[in-house]
Amino acid sequence: MKKRILLGAVALVASGLLAWFGPDLLGFYRLDRYISASTAAYDADSGPWPHVTDACVHCHGVKGNSLHQGYPSLAGQPAPYVAAQLHKFASGERANPTMAPLAMTMSETEISHLAEHFARQPAGANRYFMPEAALLGKGKQLVASGGCAACHGSGLTGHDTFPRLAGQGYDYLLAQFDAFAAGKRSEPSGMMKAIATAASAEDRKAMATYLASLAPRKE
């Protein structure tokens, strides 16, 4: 009899505690499950913390989709292109006060992981850029007549060592056109220098405008 009374009292207390703390306990349980799932997903993407890609978020955005017109989006960039640029930054062939020191500290494994990680990410549209209508039309004509699709693909989303141009930041694109025109940047084929040098400053703005406004699409 005493045992039944004791068990009943325990059950009553437990019911009261559950009624009082139940919502909080359920919330903690859900939080724990969320953290565990997030950690597992994070670890599955190139190993445990910290990832080398964590250093890229501040400039290149979450999962490589930059929100700043001056920093390039890495999402959807071909892995060979990203790896090649990191090697150029590390060797000094391509100058940048932020990227050069970072690239020099990276191992080949880290470079490979970073390049492959961003190649897997879906490329988003450049939603925060508002193009000028006059420059947009002119840029479309210049990009078509310049044969950009021959190297960068029909959707200008890049392949192999040729980068994605569609949806990149306007300021970044214009800076690269200007750098090729001034001989401050180069690439093996020499086509970019030829195109940029032949274009006027206004033409380069027009091409950058069109490319920045172009939504990336899968080819």
* 81-120 tens-digit pLDDT: 999 999 999 999 999 999 999 999 999 999 999 999 999 9
pTM of whole model > 0.85?
no
Structure confidence at residue 218 (pLDDT): 72
Q: In whole angstroms, how large is the CA radius of gyration of the chain?
A: 26
Is-contact 161 80, C-beta < 8 A? yes
Average pLDDT over residues 165-183: 97
Residues 6+ apart with CB under 8 A from 166: 123, 155, 156, 157, 211, 214, 215, 216, 217
Return the percentage of the chain with pLDDT > 90, whole number: 73
DSSP 159: B
Provide CATH code, domain 52-213.
Answer: 1.10.760.10
Higher pLDDT, 70 or 21: 70
* Average pLDDT over all residues of the chain: 86
DSSP-based three-state secondary structure for 162:
strand
1 pLDDT more than 50: yes
Q: Which residue blocks in 54-190 are alpha helix, DSSP H?
A: 57-60, 79-91, 99-104, 108-120, 133-145, 149-152, 170-181
DSSP 50: S
Is-contact 52 110, C-beta < 8 A? yes
